[in-house]
Amino acid sequence: MGKKRIITKPEKELIKEKEGIEAKAQKEVRVKALKEVKEGILCISSSYNNTILTLTDLQGNVLYWTSAGRIGFKGTKKGTPFAASRVAQTMAEAIKKMGIEMIQVLIKGIGSGRESALRSLAARDLNIISIKDVTPIPHNGCRPPKVRRV
């Protein structure tokens, strides 16, 4: 086996990448206020590959959505807790711009972004009424295959 080579990016390149992501997050929060909505439902869908936040009214009509990929994260970085917290910050700004006072949070999935997205939302002084985990859980599963006879 040869030498292990670790690829490191220069500090300037890392700072430039971080600024690009922050600029995209700032630019992304252009929210159109469709109607006066005082209460909404926020769905956090966290998978191993991405974290998606969707804001709906009480009837289920989508008002705003954002994800780690939409902000500017690429590849495996989309599934990280840091990316999820950035997505939650963008969503919190959108909620404040819309003037929504109370939100219900529904969390779905098993990714690493669940916890950090929720913490980031709570840190933004949003009036969270309830937090509910709606991750699908199989009750009994599929029927097992027949026993193999040799």
On whether residue 85 sits in a domain, the answer given is yes
On whether residue 82 sits in a domain, the answer given is yes
Domain count, the chain: 1
Q: Which residue range(s) make up the domain with 79?
A: 63-104+111-128
On whether residue 70 sits in a domain, the answer given is yes
On whether residue 80 sits in a domain, the answer given is yes
92-137 pLDDT, tens digit each: 999 998 889 999 999 999 988 899 999 999 999 899 999 999 999 8
On whether residue 79 sits in a domain, the answer given is yes
On whether residue 58 sits in a domain, the answer given is no
On whether residue 83 sits in a domain, the answer given is yes
In the 3-class helix/strand/coil scheme, how is 71-129 assigned residue by residue? HCCCHHHHHCHHHHHHHHHHHHHHHHHHCCCEEEEEEEECCCHHHHHHHHHHHCCCEEE
The CATH number linked to 87 is 3.30.420.80
**Given pLDDT bands bounded at 50, 70 and 90, which one contains residue 1?**
low
Give the whole-angstrom CA distance, residue 21 versus residue 14.
Answer: 11
pLDDT score, position 87: 94
On whether residue 57 sits in a domain, the answer given is no
42-90 pLDDT, tens digit each: 999 999 999 999 999 999 999 999 999 999 999 999 999 999 999 999 9
- The whole model's pTM is what? 0.75
